[in-house]
């Protein structure tokens, strides 16, 4: 399964190759209860066909209507929605919501192809657009934060797709793999036990052959990778964890009770792991929501995984996560 952004860009590339004109829209900044986060993208074809989302509703309809009527900007431009109460109601933006979007015509097939190819190779790319001239620059970078406008340049970031490596192809592993794909994760499975592997029935995943420790080394986990061990076999789970905890993976978790996790941490100390590395282990894995069935446990794991990812993204962008303050501000706007 392709990531959402890669899917949008691939469609845009095919449209351009087939002779269509199209515009790319990117959310730059939001205020209040805006429905999509900075970096969300939408491509609208000249006949109103679209893929992606910047609001999840009426703004897409408005942009498609503008495309059909040929009134979209001919050069890169900044657009804003939800500035007034009337406009917010017209476009069905939640109370207090406001979006700033960069709109740009897509003209260069080769340049867009380079971006798609880089994302397929799991590269993190910075795409910079000059708002006056339309010049586009591509550069492979380390994580730098959220989209921003800096003088005449608009900078945004793409890729790589988030990955989930599951150690274990049991019932929980298959349920977790199925749900994770819906959440746009590229799912990789490691299962050295032949009898369990033969009963696998979930499509769309990538099988990685080998023992768990070798598999983790082979995939070289980056900051967009999560690793979850669910085999119920401490020998297999521990093999994966010994390498995963030393990697750049943003999330490493293992199934097991509190008692079993303490025993596991003691075993980890017998190898070349320090206390900081051991402390990053999520175990018992998943948010504590009273889950019991495989589906409930999978939901708990994915919920915690999404929570950790969101926290790290905010920290990387220099955000202060104060939910109570945001809620209070939005409530005051709605009552005004």
Q: Please, how many CA atoms are within 13 Å of residue 146, restricted to the half-sphere of its CB?
A: 17
Which ranges of the chain would DSSP assign to H, the alpha helix?
4-17, 58-68, 85-90, 109-120, 171-182, 194-197, 212-219, 234-244, 258-268, 275-279, 294-316, 323-335
Cβ pair 80, 101 in contact under 8 A: yes
Residue 317 in this model has a pLDDT that exceeds 90: no
Confidence of residue 324 (pLDDT cuts 50, 70, 90): very low
Average pLDDT, the chain: 88
Reported pTM: 0.75
CA pair distance 118, 104, nearest whole angstrom: 21
State the Cα–Cα distance between residues 240 and 265, nearest whole angstrom. 14
Nearest-angstrom CA–CA distance, 186 and 161: 7
Q: Model confidence over 123-175: pLDDT tens digits?
A: 889 999 999 999 999 999 877 778 999 999 999 999 888 999 999 999 999 99
User: For a pLDDT cut of 90, what percent of the chain falls above it?
Assistant: 71
pLDDT above 60 for 228? yes
Burial of 196 (0-12, 13-18, 19+ CB in 10 A): middle
pLDDT above 90 (res 109): yes
Instruction: Please list, in sequence order, all residues whose beta carbon lies within 8 angstroms of the beta carbon of residue 163, skipping any fewer than 6 positions away.
Output: 185, 186, 187, 188, 219, 221, 224, 225, 226
H or E element, residue 253: strand 251-254
Residue 279 has pLDDT above 60, yes or no: yes
Q: What letters, b where the CB count within 10 A reaches 16 and e where it falls short, cover 231-268? A: bebbebbbbbbbbbbbbebbbbbbbbeeebbeebbeeb
Residue that wins the pLDDT comparison between 98 and 324:
98
Q: What is the pLDDT of residue 315?
A: 63
pLDDT above 70 as % of the chain: 87
Q: What is the DSSP string of 80-112?
A: EE--SHHHHHHTTPPTT-EEEEEEEEE--HHHH
CA 77 to centroid of chain Cα atoms: 26
Distances (CA, A) of 194 to 173, 203, 204: 15, 18, 19
What domains, with CATH codes, occur in the chain?
4-158 (no CATH), 163-315 (3.40.50.720)
pLDDT number for residue 93: 67
Query: What digits encode the pLDDT tens for the residues 166-213?
Result: 999 999 999 999 999 999 899 999 999 999 999 899 999 999 999 999
| Structure tokens, 160 | 């790589």
**DSSP codes, 46-62:** TTS-EEE-SSSSHHHHH
Q: Which residue has the higher pLDDT, 330 or 155?
A: 155
Averaged pLDDT for residues 313-317: 61
pLDDT at 96: 59
Rounded CA separation 146/126 (Å) = 11
Stated as kind and residue range, the H or E segment containing 232 is none
Q: pLDDT band for position 107 (50/70/90)? A: confident
Specify the length of the chain in residues.
336
Find the helix or strand (DSSP H, E) in which 135 lies: none
């Amino acid at each position: 399964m392709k990531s959402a952004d890669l899917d949008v860009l691939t469609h845009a590339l095919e449209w351009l190759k087939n002779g269509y004109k199209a515009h790319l829209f990117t959310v730059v900044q939001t205020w209040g209860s805006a429905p999509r986060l900075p970096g969300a993208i939408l491509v609208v074809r000249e006949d109103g066909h679209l893929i992606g989302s910047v609001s999840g509703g009426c703004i897409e309809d408005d942009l498609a209507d503008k495309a059909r009527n040929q009134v979209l900007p001919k050069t890169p431009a900044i657009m804003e929605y939800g500035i007034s109460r009337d406009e917010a109601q017209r476009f069905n933006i939640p109370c207090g919501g406001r979006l700033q979007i960069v709109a740009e015509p897509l003209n260069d097939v080769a340049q867009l192809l380079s971006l798609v190819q880089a994302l397929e190779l799991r590269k993190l790319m910075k795409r910079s657009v000059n708002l006056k001239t339309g010049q586009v620059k591509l550069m492979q970078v380390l994580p730098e934060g959220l989209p921003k406008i800096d003088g005449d340049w608009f900078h945004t970031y793409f890729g790589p797709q988030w990955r989930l490596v599951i150690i274990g192809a049991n019932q929980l592993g298959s349920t977790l793999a199925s749900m994770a794909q819906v959440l746009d994760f590229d799912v990789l499975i490691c299962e050295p036990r032949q009898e369990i592997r033969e009963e696998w029935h979930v499509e769309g995943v990538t099988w990685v052959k080998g023992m768990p420790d070798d598999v983790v080394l082979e995939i070289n986990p980056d900051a967009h990778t999560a690793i979850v061990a669910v085999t119920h076999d401490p020998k297999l789970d521990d093999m994966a964890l010994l390498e995963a905890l030393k990697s750049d993976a943003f999330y490493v978790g293992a199934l097991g009770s509190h008692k079993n996790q303490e025993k596991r941490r003691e075993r980890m100390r017998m190898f070349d792991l320090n206390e900081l590395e051991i402390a990053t282990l999520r175990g018992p894995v998943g948010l504590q929501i009273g889950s019991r069935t495989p589906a409930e446990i999978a939901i708990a794991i994915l919920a915690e995984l999404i929570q950790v990812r969101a926290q790290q993204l905010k920290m990387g962008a220099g955000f202060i996560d104060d939910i109570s303050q945001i809620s209070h501000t939005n409530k005051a706007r709605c009552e005004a």
